[in-house]
Each structure stands twice: as structure tokens, then as C-alpha cells.
């Protein structure tokens, strides 16, 4: 039987970084690694919004990336 271990969470904050030649938005993404795996989705959303609020660029999206190791139990 397999188990998941060593969960690692990365928070990604996508910001609007101007417009390209066609008038479509360009983006810049900031990544914050080693987020506590026990964080709730609400806390993650609030954290992403607060971190984006420290930037001069406008917030576009907030992403959560999760990676876990699959091991034999």
C-alpha cells in the first residue's frame, strides 16, 4: 500500500506587469516556498492577498502548488 509524505506547499502570486504590443496583459509571478502544509485555503488566500498588497503591481491570481512524495507503506 502506498502513502503520501513530505508535503511541500508553494504559494504563487500572479501580478499584472503592464501590457504587451497587442494590448494584452503581461504577468509577473512571485513564488513563496515552504508554506506550512496545515494552512487552510482561506488563510492561503489572505496571505496571497496581503503579499500582493505589498507590491506595486496589481494582483491577477493566487495559486497553490502542492507536491507530496509517494512511498511504500
> Quick one: pLDDT at residue 13?
98
The model carries a pTM of 0.86
Taking alpha carbons only, the member of 44, 12, 17 closest to residue 28 is 17
pLDDT-derived band at 73 (thresholds 50, 70, 90) equals confident
> Quick one: pLDDT at residue 43?
98
What pLDDT digit, counting tens, does each position of 9-45 carry?
A: 999 999 999 999 999 999 999 999 999 999 999 999 9
How far out from the chain centre does Cα 24 lie? 22
- Sheet with 2-19, strands from edge to edge, namely 25-35, 2-19, 58-72
Give the C-alpha separation, 19 to 38, whole Å.
37
In degrees, to the nearest 5, what angle opens at C-alpha 14 toward C-alphas 13 and 17?
135
Amino acid at each position: 500500500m502506498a502513502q503520501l509524505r513530505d508535503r511541500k506547499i508553494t504559494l504563487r502570486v500572479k501580478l499584472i506587469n503592464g501590457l504587451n504590443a497587442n494590448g494584452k496583459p503581461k504577468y509577473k509571478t512571485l513564488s513563496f516556498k515552504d508554506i506550512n502544509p496545515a494552512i487552510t485555503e482561506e488563510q492561503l488566500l489572505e496571505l496571497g492577498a496581503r503579499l500582493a498588497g505589498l507590491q506595486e503591481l496589481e494582483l491577477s491570481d493566487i495559486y497553490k502548488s502542492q507536491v507530496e512524495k509517494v512511498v511504500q507503506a
